Amino acid sequence: MINLLYSVYLDDQYRIRLPRELCRQMGLEPGRELSLRSSSKGVFLSNPNPYCAICGTRQGLRPFGRRFLCTACIRWIQETSLKGKKAPSSQKG
């Protein structure tokens, strides 16, 4: 991903609106939780430690609506009918 600089403005309720292009690049959907951190160098906005909504791993994640799924769970969903099958175990790392 290319690092870009965007200009944003506070509205009268102290909200900022993120550019649509940035949201698409980051896989952000309305309602997604974000982390806001301030320091002497500025204010930083980031995704808060995303994890797979099924198994909890933090590796190989892909955006899925307002959550994330790992590639193993995506493969599992594609290969099974979800009936009588056990979800992959957590690969937390």
Residue that has been written with the tokens 């974000």 in this structure:
34
Q: Cite the beta strand spans of the chain per DSSP E.
A: 35-39, 42-46, 61-64, 67-70
pLDDT of residue 16: 92
Residue (of 76, 29, 70) closest to 51 by Cα position: 70
Strand partners of residue 46: 35
pLDDT of residue 58: 86
pLDDT along the chain (93 residues), means of 10: 81 93 80 86 82 88 86 89 63 54
pLDDT of residue 72: 94
How many other β-carbons are positioned within 10 Å of the β-carbon of residue 68? Answer: 20
Predicted TM-score of the model (pTM): 0.48
Element (H, E) at 22: helix 20-26
Q: Return the SS3 of 91.
A: coil
